[in-house]
A and B are shown apart, each in its own frame.
Chain A
């Protein structure tokens, strides 16, 4: 996989984007020359560029993604600790998104050019236009501060009871879903419109199949191919969005960690985390591609 190698190099280059001397930036402006020298040696910045790249790639090959400067732990274990939070947020929001988005999109396509279509598409348009972090803050004011239905921030692990976990996750996941529902509904609608105008749908209707079987089985099934493609994008949007949403709800996930790492100039942690996420998405895209080939026999790899 050349892509994996390119990602590794890109993540490595992230540090060299820093204007000026990375060691000085990381150690802080008031650091003594000795402290800067120590950071430099610790990060291997005193070696040549190619040597650094070689060491970086060699460490990666052994599963060593570097270690954090502030957390006193390796990047891999730091990410591992916070992964459940981010994953459950992403999973819950995708769990909301797929049924709702597909249903709304199909509804709009089936009732195209009626008020149902307009209403659904307006909602979808709002979903992709309203910033999630803003609606999240409004949600906290309404549901936590005013109504007191859910806690305004913090995370309750699933191991401490399903109810508490769901209460702490419901609002973040829902606000995260808005964009994705809008996106998926729009995508499903155009896929369904495409399918519904195909000859085999006319044939299905002509041979007397019920509307439910025609639309629910024939049409939706074909539209599903597109939806599989969309899940890769949805996952990416969910993880990307969680960076921001975790910040609003003070959820101890990967996104919050990355933002904190950036503020604390813990660049090795940023670098390592980006890399792990990059690898994860390469795997996800690979799985989506495979599913796509399985779902649509017309697609074959060269």
Chain B
């Protein structure tokens, strides 16, 4: 397989980019960073504070109040069991953001470890990369579908399934970055001055692989959330009565023509969350890789 290409040059530029205080200041002046960060932070706060914001139990059924359209008492209306859609979307945010974040963190850690191992221990390189190639031959959502189905319908299976599906891309990125950094003068200098290989990896190689990985993980957060919604929509993800954005849409779908609000609002919530993360990812990519400037 060809390793030459997109990844390497982009990461080389990213590595050469200035880091630290200046980057943070520039980020705060970056429009899409600000928009993206504000939206996702707001959603996260709403998710965490959900029980304080709405006194209603997300699964409390009140049959008398079914299919109420959006109004002052029920901002997003009610569903076929008379449950408050606003409350369910807020509680859904907890699950969806948690799954996205967990996948992001776990797959990030695994990618960093496997990627650096592949780059440093050349004997393991081809074994690791062939395994990644094999995992990458399945469309991510299909791989996740298969694993989630086999592990059974639980939050943890969704996280495991999506983590496995998204590790290969991360490993490729870390490996490409690590291979570039390894050849740089300061690493060679550290080697010559007698630093141990562990120290070189931890102090020099790993930190310099983090910025391309960080950009990638921001997008993975968005993808994982979209994929969780899709899995829950198909019925192999988060199971009712626990509310997740995907399964609210799935339940609302049957009544979409009479009660459009049930499926409309969770969809807007997913789109907003994914949009903000994509904006963040673009902004980070812009900042950490000056070669691709031209955004805004």
Contact = CB atoms under 8 A, between A and B. Distances in A.
A10 B147 contact: no
Nearest to A256: B234
B75 interface: no
B146 A14 contact: yes
Contact of A125 (B138, B230, B264, B279): B279
Contacts of B150: 14-15, 17-18, 267
A137 B279 CA distance: 25
A100 interface: no
Given A131-B249, A134-B249, 15 more contacts: A14-B147, A125-B282, A134-B229, A137-B253, A138-B264, A226-B6, A243-B139, A243-B145, A262-B145, A274-B138, A278-B138, A281-B137, A285-B1, A293-B2, A299-B5
Interface stretch (B189-197, B198-206, B255-263): B255-263
Interface string A288-302: 010011000001010
Interface string B243-274: 00000010001001100100110010011001
A275 B30 CA distance: 45
B230 A133 contact: yes
A141 B236 CA distance: 25
A260 to B, nearest CB: 10
B260 A289 contact: no
A229 B6 contact: yes
B176 interface: no
Contacts of B263: 134, 137
Nearest to A259: B234
A55 interface: no
A190 interface: yes
Contact of B142 (A145, A190, A239): A239
Most buried by A among B137, B141, B152, B234: B137
Contact of A289 (B2, B140, B152, B222): B2
Contacts of B57: none
Contacts of B279: 125
A3 interface: yes
Interface string A200-221: 0000000000000000000000
B235 A129 contact: no
Contacts of A17: 147, 150-151
Contacts of A116: none
Nearest to B9: A194
B236 A289 contact: no
Interface stretch (B61-69, B112-120, B127-135): B127-135
A3 B275 contact: no
Most buried by B among A3, A237, A277, A299: A3
B185 interface: no
Contact of B270 (A18, A131, A282, A292): A131
6 contacts: A109-B294, A129-B275, A129-B278, A131-B270, A226-B6, A270-B146
Interface string B143-184: 101110111100000000000000000000000000000000
Contacts of B292: 190, 193-194
B4 interface: yes
A263 interface: yes
Interface residues of B, number: 51
Contacts of A190: 292, 294
A240 B134 contact: no
Contacts of B6: 226, 229
Interface of B: 1-2, 4-6, 130-131, 133-135, 137-143, 145-147, 149-152, 222, 226, 229-230, 233-236, 249, 253, 256-257, 260, 263-264, 267, 270-271, 274-275, 278-279, 282, 291-292, 294, 296
Contact of A240 (B140, B151, B264): B140
A292 B5 CA distance: 10
A10 B149 contact: no
B260 to A, nearest CB: 7
Contacts of A263: 235
Given A130-B274, A131-B230, A133-B249, A274 B142 contact: yes
Interface of A: 2-3, 6-7, 10, 14-15, 17-19, 109, 112-113, 125-126, 128-131, 133-135, 137-138, 140-141, 145, 190, 193-194, 226, 229, 236-237, 239-241, 243-244, 247, 258-259, 262-263, 267, 270, 274, 277-279, 281-282, 285, 289, 292-293, 299, 301
Contacts of B143: 274
Contacts of A129: 222, 226, 271, 274-275, 278
Given A239-B139, A241-B141, A270-B146, A7 B134 contact: yes
Contacts of B294: 109, 112-113, 190, 193
A277 B1 contact: no
B46 to A, nearest CB: 18
B233 A243 contact: no
Nearest to B250: A133
Given A125-B279, A229-B6, A278 B134 contact: yes
Contacts of A259: 145, 234-236
A61 B38 CA distance: 54
Contacts of A258: 142, 145-146
Nearest to B151: A17
B139 A236 contact: yes
A2 to B, nearest CB: 5
